């Protein structure tokens, strides 16, 4: 924890040397403030969305429509959180003489013309953080406009970079089975100490 403006804050869990604008599969979990069940309820192992949950679902589906470099893989909305696999797929930059991939090769040395992976800005445009931040912001505006002024998100989100197909398949299965396992879910307030 660090002290910022006389308040302690938890450091970012983001990998400090990873470029979160780079191509890849990202497992993302976004929670409501204090894990309040704003999004609906699980009935017989299936999620029944509330009006707020419907707004969140509609806005999440728009994510890949308004951003050509984003694809949504498996996702689910739960009573107080959502899980998703979000794919960043930037096009290859081309010029008449040079073809280069936008992603950073973590194993190559950097020079003055390369991006230094140790100094990657956290709030970079089209980064995972900016995409999630914009999504949360538009959802909040829509939800408040619909008359639910008490709604709030948790200030941060959780992510994990998916590195291989085995991990991808395991994560997809976890997301699909999440509603059926709600009774034992770590986000279920009944299970919190």
CATH number of the domain at 93, please. 3.30.70.1290
Q: What is the DSSP letter of 10?
A: P
88 found inside a domain: yes
* pLDDT for res 183: 84
191 found inside a domain: no
* pLDDT for res 170: 96
42 found inside a domain: yes
Q: What is the pLDDT of residues 7-66, one digit of tens each?
A: 544 444 545 555 678 899 999 999 999 999 999 999 998 999 999 999 999 999 999 999
43 found inside a domain: yes
pLDDT at residue 165 is higher than 90? yes
* pLDDT for res 92: 60
- Asked if residue 30 lies in contact with residue 59, where contact means CB atoms within 8 angstroms, the answer is no
Nearest partner of 20 among 159, 153, 163, judged by Cα: 159
* pLDDT for res 107: 41
Q: What is the DSSP letter of 114?
A: S
Domain residues for the domain of 45 are: 21-103+122-176
3-state DSSP assignment of residue 170: helix
90 found inside a domain: yes
What confidence category does residue 100 fall into, taking pLDDT thresholds of 50, 70 and 90?
very low
Number of domains in the chain: 1
């Amino acid at each position: 924890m660090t002290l910022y403006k006389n308040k302690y804050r938890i450091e970012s869990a983001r990998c400090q040397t990873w470029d979160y604008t780079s191509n890849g599969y990202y497992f993302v979990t976004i929670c409501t403030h204090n894990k309040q069940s704003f999004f609906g309820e699980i009935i017989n192992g299936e999620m029944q969305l509330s009006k707020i949950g419907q707004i969140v679902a509609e806005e999440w589906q728009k994510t890949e429509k308004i951003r050509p470099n984003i694809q949504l893989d498996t996702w689910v909305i739960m009573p107080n959180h959502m899980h998703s696999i979000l794919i960043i797929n930037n096009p290859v930059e081309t010029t008449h003489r040079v073809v280069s991939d936008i992603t950073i090769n973590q194993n190559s040395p950097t020079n003055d013309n390369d991006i230094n992976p140790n100094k990657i800005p956290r709030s970079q445009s089209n980064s995972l953080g900016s995409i999630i931040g914009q999504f949360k912001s538009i959802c909040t505006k829509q939800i408040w406009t619909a008359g639910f002024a008490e709604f709030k998100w948790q200030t941060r989100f959780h992510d994990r970079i998916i590195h291989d197909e085995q991990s991808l398949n395991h994560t997809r299965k976890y997301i699909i089975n999440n509603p059926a396992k709600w009774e034992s879910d770590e986000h279920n307030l009944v299970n919190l100490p």
